[in-house]
Amino acid sequence: MSARPSLRWLTASALCLLGLSGNALAHNPMCECKQIDNEQIRCTGGFSDGSGAPGVTLDVIGYDETILVPGKLGEDSTVTFKRPASEFYVLFDAGPGHVVEIDQADIRSP
């Protein structure tokens, strides 16, 4: 009968460790945009675990919600586009819970 409580304890401990292991594997989306000259902006996307994000959607969207520049990150996890004349933000969308928005005001000139 004394083995039964320790079996429950081991089972509970194993379940807790399994629940925590998902957090260790989690990674957060990251995106950075820089103005590289007077007309061009380059954005780089990836994840906090150091992995890149080739093929991930990165759209340039006007404040009226119009997609100004539809895009996907290239093999090097970057995309370069001409700076729109109207106000905009950049949306890096790697799926549910993996979205980053960058407002035009946060993109610095060289």
The residue whose two tokens read 């780089």 is 44
Query: How many independent structural domains does the chain possess?
Result: 1
Q: Residue 83 is part of which domain span?
A: 27-106
Q: Does residue 12 lie in a domain region?
A: no
Helix, coil or strand: residue 106: helix
Neighbours of 110 (CB within 10 A): 8
- The answer to whether 95 and 47 are in contact (CB under 8 A) is no
Q: Does residue 72 lie in a domain region?
A: yes
Q: What is the pLDDT of residues 32-60, one digit of tens each?
A: 999 999 899 999 999 999 999 999 999 99
**CATH code for position 68:** 2.60.40
Q: Does residue 2 lie in a domain region?
A: no
The C-alpha atoms of residue 47 and residue 50 are separated, in whole angstroms, by 6
Residue type, 30: M
Helix, coil or strand: residue 5: helix
Q: Does residue 4 lie in a domain region?
A: no
Q: Does residue 83 lie in a domain region?
A: yes
Q: Does residue 21 lie in a domain region?
A: no
Q: How confident is the model at residue 21 (pLDDT cuts 50, 70, 90)?
A: very low
Residue type, 100: V
Check residue 34 and give its pLDDT. 97
CA atoms within 13 Å, Cβ hemisphere of 33: 25
Residue 24 pLDDT > 50: no
